[in-house]
Amino acid sequence: MNRKSQSTGDLSAREQQIAQVYAQGESYQQIADRLCLAPSTVRTHLATIYRKLRVSSKLELRDALPSAATPQADLVEGFPERPEKPSIAVLAFENMSGDPEQEYFSDGISDDIITALSRSPWLFIIARNTTFTYKGSNVDVRRVAEELGVRFVLEGSVRRSGDRVRVTAQLIDGLTGGHVWSDRYDGQLEDVFDLQDEITRNVVASIQTTVHLSTIQDPVERASHPDLTVWELTMRSWHLLYDFDPESYAHAKTLLERALAIDPESAEANMVLSLINHHIAIMGFAKDEVPAMETAYALGRRATQLDDRNEYAHWAFGISCWGLLKYDESLAALERAVALNPNCSLAYGSLGTLLGILGCSEEAIANQEIAIRSNPLDPSIFFRFSGLALAHYMAGRYVIAIEWAERAIHRMPRWYFAHFVLAASHVALDQHEQASATAEACVAVIPNIRIRDLDRVPLKDTKKMDKLRNRLRIAGFSD
């Protein structure tokens, strides 16, 4: 046993994880799917494991490993530890109206509660994009709490009938499954935001041993929701943002234009329309991305002017600056977003990407890690992965950059930027065959990809930008 412990101690945490599940029968592909890795990366890890442990077969590997005291599920899923401060996951409130069209109404209530709770620096709140992945399924609350690494889970339902609405909510202790607090609220539809304020305050009050009611000084923002129809149109568009395809974005633009025709001063409608235009530009869904970038910039600025305390408006404005080379404005906006909402994973992640663009690799990595920890199931997490790849690439840690770039591509094969970082990292390591294969794989998914597409997310240092372009040429990409 001492021999085994000493041998396995040479493995990294990731290598130990892969070794255990592979020895227990998982295939390359199963491990890749579970850990968000490319199968080739799993094979590379296993080759290193075999070399370190001096084994040549799965049977010898199984014998070389100590008896696993940790359940396989924990080894594979890597459940996060609970943070020291109170932590909450707010599940999507269930729509009890029997009308699928009201789904956006119940989602919106959950979303605003998450936003209000997240603004407290004394709470750790899991982001909506992660908690909403449990929507529509019967969940074991204790299992959810374990998977997300939180102590409390808030769940509820919304029943809307005519002009009246009933909201029920309950806070559950994820350790015991017991109810910490529950309540029911009835009111007129016009008072729905007052109901949200009351729910939010009561959730905080239920755990006031560590967090007082005063930590949320302001009620749920309603200045940007003057008309519920505008809100519903905006919520629908927010959902479409995560489809990452041109058809959905075209539909979202139509909905948001309707919303702004009703209320041109809706900060959220301006903000989401900015995001749609930004993603159209960076994802390559427009023949000429500059007009979309300029539109995103103008809409993002307007959103911050309409509601300077809306962290998502500052986030949208911050990322709209990149393609226009407005780095200082971007940094100020993203730092403002984080200051307004210390748990805004999107702002942390985008700040991390910006810092990578600026060449501040260690700060970039720290921000990306915060974003991934607070929002591990985010549908747009491939941006976080490619942001980490960029940060390590800029720091000259090309092997690590390759691993994160492969993770990003695994999640979103159409994300060209991850392909670029992957190919350039292989070139930097003189792995020209792998670089060429990366370029070919990218072109197969994105036939019209060109090196000039890198200008959608340009590095600030022009010399490093030129070097990156040259490495892409060596890999086989066309100008």
Residue 75 has what pLDDT? 38
- Specify the residue for token string 């094969």: 413
Q: What is the mean pLDDT of residues 44-60?
A: 79
Helix, strand, coil percentages for the chain (3-state, nearest 5): 65, 10, 30
Given a cut of 70, whether residue 225 has pLDDT beyond it is: no
Identify the band that residue 210 occupies on the pLDDT scale cut at 50, 70 and 90. Answer: very low
Question: 154 by DSSP, 3-state: which?
Answer: strand
Q: In the chain, what are the domains?
A: 2-77 (1.10.10.10), 87-215 (3.40.50.10610), 223-342 (1.25.40.10), 356-479 (1.25.40.10)
* CA 283/CA 276 separation, integer angstroms: 10
Given a cut of 70, whether residue 35 has pLDDT beyond it is: no
What are the E-state strand segments in 211-347?
Answer: none
Q: What is the mean pLDDT of residues 372-383?
A: 86
Identify the band that residue 219 occupies on the pLDDT scale cut at 50, 70 and 90. Answer: very low
Cα-based angle 412, 414, 417 (whole degrees, multiple of 5): 90
Contact of 380 with 361, CB cutoff 8 Å: no
Residue 290 has what pLDDT? 95
Partners of 78 in the β-ladder: none
To the nearest 10 degrees (0 to 180), the angle between helices 381-394 and 345-358 is: 30
Q: What is the mean pLDDT of residues 17-41?
A: 71
More confident residue, 177 or 297: 297
pLDDT digits (tens, 9 = 90+) for 321-339: 999 999 999 999 999 999 9
Given a cut of 70, whether residue 245 has pLDDT beyond it is: yes
Contact of 340 with 218, CB cutoff 8 Å: no
Q: What is the mean pLDDT of residues 82-95?
A: 83
Residue 254 has what pLDDT? 93
More confident residue, 370 or 342: 370
Given a cut of 60, whether residue 77 has pLDDT beyond it is: no
**Could you say which DSSP state residue 64 is in?**
H
Residue 155 has what pLDDT? 92
More confident residue, 383 or 109: 383
Given a cut of 70, whether residue 18 has pLDDT beyond it is: yes
pLDDT digits (tens, 9 = 90+) for 384-396: 999 999 999 999 9
* CA 449/CA 426 separation, integer angstroms: 19
Contact of 303 with 319, CB cutoff 8 Å: no
Given a cut of 60, whether residue 224 has pLDDT beyond it is: no
- Specify the residue for token string 């749920």: 220
Q: Please report, for residues 197, 225, 230, the alpha-carbon distance to residue 233 in angstroms, rounded to integers and kept in the order given.
A: 22, 11, 5
Contact of 231 with 267, CB cutoff 8 Å: no
Identify the band that residue 280 occupies on the pLDDT scale cut at 50, 70 and 90. Answer: very high
Query: By C-alpha distance, which of 302, 245, 244 is closest to 273?
Result: 302
Residue 215 has what pLDDT? 33
Q: What is the mean pLDDT of residues 307-320?
A: 94
Identify the band that residue 460 occupies on the pLDDT scale cut at 50, 70 and 90. Answer: very high
Q: What is the mean pLDDT of residues 18-30?
A: 79
Residue 391 has what pLDDT? 97
Given a cut of 50, whether residue 101 has pLDDT beyond it is: yes
Given a cut of 90, whether residue 80 has pLDDT beyond it is: no
The answer to pTM > 0.75 is no
Identify the band that residue 139 occupies on the pLDDT scale cut at 50, 70 and 90. Answer: confident
Rounded to the nearest integer, the mean pLDDT of the chain is 83
Residue 191 has what pLDDT? 66
* CA 139/CA 326 separation, integer angstroms: 45
Among the listed ranges 9-13, 213-217, 289-293, 327-331, which one has the minimum average pLDDT value?
A: 213-217
Q: What backbone phi and psi angles, to 5 degrees, belong to 96?
A: -100, 10
More confident residue, 71 or 374: 374
